[in-house]
Structure 1
Amino acid sequence: MGKRKIFNLDDYRKRDAVAGPDQQGKRRGKLSFYVFPGSIRGLLKERKWLLLALLVMALICLLPAPRGLTVEGKYALGLWVFVIICFLTEAIPLPATAIIIGCYQVFTGLAGFRDAPRAFMDDAVIFIMGVLMMGAMLMKYNIHNRVALFVLKLCGTRIERVILGIVAFCAFSAGFITEHAAVMIMLPIGVGIVSLSGGYKKVPNLAKLVMLSIAYGVMIGSVAAPSGGARNALMLGLLSSLNINIGYGQWMLMVMPFTLVMIPVVSYWLLNLFTPEVKDLSGIVQAIREEMEASGPLTVQARLALAIFLAVVVGWIFASHRYGVGTIAMTGILLAVVLHLVDWSYLQQKTQWGVVLLYAGAISMGKTLISTGAASWLAGQFLHLAEVAEVSQGLSLLAVTATVTALVTNTMADGPTVAALGPIFLKVAELSRTSPLVIGVSTSLASAFSYLLIIATPANAIVYGPGYLEARDFLKAGGVLFLVSLLLTVALLGNFWWRILGLW
């Protein structure tokens, strides 16, 4: 890898020498604004969203704690609102927001200065770091191009069929090999397609389209089977504690229609939202084919790298419940380094550390919301409002609990969301004489609707890594899918399919 200067001072001087006096003055004026703001008004305009987030957070912290919420929970609630505003508006760089989470916890007494950094370390954080490194290793040996060629041969070269194929592959894979493995397989393919199409600057819409197809594909598929994620297994355990035992096939029968309907919906919506610059990928197929012929068969090092990747995927499927997905991913990376398949300096250069830090902060905030009781208090308030609106049982209760879960899961990981809300909602269902099975499965399903924020799920954080997406892209694309998913959960499953199955 050659060294490239981030900023060349000589080039800057040449531009100033060529530019006229007026242009030089404008440039210097602009520079002085950012280094030394010329006016308070300019600074306020530049940082208005950050100031709004700080103001709302301060207001929440200064007000008395509501009934049922501890002081620590009030502080956690203020942090939660602050982070949401910053993530939605990109008031400051997102990794910087993650750092604020840790500092806030220490200054408000939510965690000690020794405990706060520990909260940033989680198996999911190590997993994201391992996935980004694994992707860099596969790209070094052009393995992603070979897999991309196979996928394109299978789907055809028309962009509509390619996107439908990516969404369908991710959806069906995520239900059985977990969404982590599905994203890991497809991410290098997506990067390869964008790169061979001319890169992000030439095809920005195609880049966003492919990345979001991967992320949203695994979301809609990870709920189709109990093996699709920890949230599903957790809900099975909660239902079992109520003597409600549901089999693997029964779960699939209940949820699979949602996945089947959402595959074409996601494909159609993303294709229309991000109209791709390239309509046919036959040129890319030819370019990959020529590159493969020029490079010849896989080298011994490439075969070893591929074998390590496949071993990691197998480990995720069969051993993640014992060792964790993060430990398994990093074991594969360490093995690759020991075998000299990849240099650590290369991994350090290619890994998007800001993404790792971003998700670490999100995990820490989720733990804080649970430990302080803020998550349970929020759920209780939503349910209280539902009771006031005379929404207390049946289909209306399902709609409320699913909506609450979907909103909360966009600011916490899906597992903690189900852990925090699942017991509450199952108890509410039991007391209101509504099927706990229906409420439980719909809660697990809605916890997958992590369309809106980068921190909502590892899939979003991983596809954000290559730098093709901005935070507002998730909000722009995910807002409609969020509403459609809730509508399908209530209307298609709750009011139609589950009645046919006799669950009501």
Structure 2
Amino acid sequence: MGKQKVFKLNEYRKKERTVSGLEPLDNGDRGARFPPPLNKVKAFLKEQKWLLLALLLTVLIYLLPTPRGLTVQGKYALGLWAFVIVCFLTEAVPLPMTAMLIGCYQVFTGIASFREAPRTFMDDAVIFIMGVLMMGAMLMKYNIHNRVALFMLKLCGARIERVILGIVAFCAISAGFITEHAAVMIMLPIGVGIVSLSGGYKKVPNLAKLIMLAIAYGVMIGSVSAPSGGARNALMLGLLSSLGINIGYGQWMLMVMPFTLIMIPIVSYWLLNLFSPEITDLSGTVQAIREEMEADGPMTNQARMALAIFLAVVVGWIFASQRFGVGNIAMVGILLAAVLRLIDWSYLQQKTQWGVVLLYAGAISMGKMLIATGAASWLAGQFLHLAAVAEVTEGVSLLAVTATVTALVTNTMADGPTVAVLGPIFLKVAELSRTSPLVIGVATSLASAFSYLLVIATPANAIVYGPGFLRAQDFLKAGGVLFLISLVLTVAFLGSFWWRVLGVW
């Protein structure tokens, strides 16, 4: 009779560990020695590491002593500022939910009451973004974007390099005269249409990112080229005028337009190399647009009315935005379209990216909070103090510091408030240091457009984020290099060469 092992010790041990809730222990697998609850905790910590980092920074700032010159509420505001930056860079929390946290934080820390905090979420810029998204949905409903896209592709050709250069150039040049809001509004439906007819985001993700960022960065580099390009420019003109420095429309363009013209090919080249498109020839897209338009037949009367409303809104933005605001003008257009039965509420409800609206509302609220608590002014003062310690007190070095500070701040709050907060400080510093206030002022306004890094930095970023083609990290990935190039170009070319040639300092 052969030997038979009646009791198998290894199997018994495995069974015992299973009954007790522990993983079977394998001598060759040291990673399995932790019980399931500990594994789950470990996995949670790994998954939520960025959220935990954001919370840690906030708690640390909250517990630190309040620095001299900063109020307690200002310190709490800086804690939220740090939390939001980490979340927007890493998407540790869905971006619209991060925006909701901004209001809750203000109430619980006593920065604002539960009645005041919701009011900070409302601004003309928020209404504008909502109106733009609705207007884009209306244009796409009647395939107007396809007609404009076909016209643009006929001008640029079907090669992707020429198309991207054409998008960046159109957005940049038009943004100086019809405001960046209108330029984004015109180009966004075209970009979405090209992506859709090229196979959709899942088939051409790089092409989708490439086109969306070309639109956003195109209007960014062009909105500073003329005083009419944005509120920041008009605000700086007013600040300079209060010092007795009057600068004309043409002089402003002469000082800043070279920056825009140089950046157009740089932005195009960088984005094309960073997001290598899956399709290099859009001939198939052109043919698809033609076939779709032939199937639809000629423009209907409803499509013509929709186009007329859109053009009227653009004209209103150009000539009446200073009086009525871009948001109100956009909403009048949407209301008119609804009255004429061109769109209905159920359609707008489905096609509007409400998360984007909430996201930018939160950004506006945070910007107002940083200003109201004095945190923004304190941050600017600390940067300038560090510059003074480093003996950076005048000339090109002062220009470099003020431009860098402005560019960093503008990525966490809108460009208009950035100039409103930093402009008076920097102009005063320029006066005291015997540096041209004109140069420092124009450079501050220019650097406030370098909103390359965060979704919340400018309405253009928030709008192109809406279709869902981009992640928050894409802005940091693509914008980091352009951010540095723009600063170097401002300081090394404009400040050190071009403005001296013009004799402005």
TM-score range, shorter chain: over 0.9
Residues 184-243 of structure 1 deviation map (CA, whole Å, 9 limit, x = unaligned): 000000000000000000000000000000000000000000000000000000000000
Q: How far, CA to CA, are the matches of 1:101 and 1:196 in structure 2?
A: 38
Larger CA deviation: 457-466 vs 55-64: 55-64
Q: How far, CA to CA, are the matches of 1:98 and 1:157 in structure 2?
A: 40
Equivalent positions of 1:443-482 (< 5 A) are 443-482=444-483
User: Which one-letter code corresponds to 2:307 in the other structure?
Assistant: L
Aligned to 1:388: 389
User: Which one-letter code corresponds to 1:502 in the other structure?
Assistant: G
Aligned to 1:353: 354
1:486 aligns with 2:487: yes
Q: TM-score, normalised by structure 1?
A: 0.92
Q: How far, CA to CA, are the matches of 1:110 and 1:445 in structure 2?
A: 31
| C-alpha displacement of 1:297 | 1.0
Larger CA deviation: 396-405 vs 114-123: 114-123
User: Which one-letter code corresponds to 2:42 in the other structure?
Assistant: R
Residues 37-69 of structure 1 deviation map (CA, whole Å, 9 limit, x = unaligned): 962222111111111101110111111110100
Aligned to 2:92: 91
| C-alpha displacement of 1:338 | 1.1
Kept in 2, the 8 Å contact 1:37–1:43? The answer is: no
Q: CA RMSD in A?
A: 0.8
Equivalent positions of 1:321-400 (< 5 A) are 321-400=322-401
Aligned to 2:305: 304
Matched position secondary structure for 1:279: coil
Aligned to 2:410: 409
Q: How far, CA to CA, are the matches of 1:94 and 1:126 in structure 2?
A: 19
Residues 356-398 of structure 1 deviation map (CA, whole Å, 9 limit, x = unaligned): 0000000000000001110000000000000100100000000
Equivalent positions of 1:263-274 (< 5 A) are 263-274=264-275
| C-alpha displacement of 1:115 | 1.0
User: Which one-letter code corresponds to 1:394 in the other structure?
Assistant: G
Equivalent positions of 1:196-345 (< 5 A) are 196-345=197-346
Aligned to 2:129: 128
Q: How far, CA to CA, are the matches of 2:158 and 2:336 in structure 1?
A: 36
Aligned to 2:42: 41
Q: How far, CA to CA, are the matches of 1:291 and 1:89 in structure 2?
A: 39
Q: How far, CA to CA, are the matches of 1:406 and 1:179 in structure 2?
A: 18
User: Which one-letter code corresponds to 1:297 in the other structure?
Assistant: P
Q: How far, CA to CA, are the matches of 1:188 and 1:151 in structure 2?
A: 13
Q: Which runs of 4+ in 1 moved over 3 A?
A: none
Matched position secondary structure for 1:451: coil
User: Which one-letter code corresponds to 2:461 in the other structure?
Assistant: N
Q: How far, CA to CA, are the matches of 2:299 and 2:198 in structure 1?
A: 23
User: Which one-letter code corresponds to 1:316 in the other structure?
Assistant: W
Matched position secondary structure for 1:391: coil
Q: How far, CA to CA, are the matches of 2:90 and 2:278 in structure 1?
A: 27
User: Which one-letter code corresponds to 2:65 in the other structure?
Assistant: P
1:436 aligns with 2:447: no
Change (3 A) 1:91 1:37: farther
Q: How far, CA to CA, are the matches of 1:296 and 1:349 in structure 2?
A: 26
Matched position secondary structure for 2:130: helix
User: Which one-letter code corresponds to 1:269 in the other structure?
Assistant: W
Q: How far, CA to CA, are the matches of 2:189 and 2:449 in structure 1?
A: 23
Aligned to 1:184: 185
Identical-pair percentage: 86
Aligned to 1:33: none
Q: How far, CA to CA, are the matches of 2:111 and 2:301 in structure 1?
A: 52
Aligned to 2:28: none
User: Which one-letter code corresponds to 1:260 in the other structure?
Assistant: L
Unpaired runs of 5+ residues, structure 1, are: 1-35
Q: How far, CA to CA, are the matches of 1:321 and 1:65 in structure 2?
A: 40
| C-alpha displacement of 1:406 | 0.2
Q: How far, CA to CA, are the matches of 1:465 and 1:403 in structure 2?
A: 28
User: Which one-letter code corresponds to 2:53 in the other structure?
Assistant: L
Q: How far, CA to CA, are the matches of 2:156 and 2:40 in structure 1?
A: 57
Aligned to 1:62: 63
Kept in 2, the 8 Å contact 1:414–1:457? The answer is: yes
Aligned to 2:18: none
Q: How far, CA to CA, are the matches of 2:112 and 2:186 in structure 1?
A: 37
Equivalent positions of 1:130-169 (< 5 A) are 130-169=131-170
Q: How far, CA to CA, are the matches of 1:44 and 1:127 in structure 2?
A: 39
User: Which one-letter code corresponds to 1:262 in the other structure?
Assistant: M
Residues 114-140 of structure 1 deviation map (CA, whole Å, 9 limit, x = unaligned): 111111011000000000000000000
Residues 280-303 of structure 1 deviation map (CA, whole Å, 9 limit, x = unaligned): 111111111121122111101101
Equivalent positions of 1:97-108 (< 5 A) are 97-108=98-109
Q: How far, CA to CA, are the matches of 1:212 and 1:100 in structure 2?
A: 27
Q: How far, CA to CA, are the matches of 2:84 and 2:227 in structure 1?
A: 31
Residues 467-500 of structure 1 deviation map (CA, whole Å, 9 limit, x = unaligned): 0000000000000000000000001100000010
When Rg is computed on C-alpha atoms for both structures, the one with the higher figure is: 2
Aligned to 2:194: 193
Q: How far, CA to CA, are the matches of 2:146 and 2:284 in structure 1?
A: 14
1:80 aligns with 2:57: no
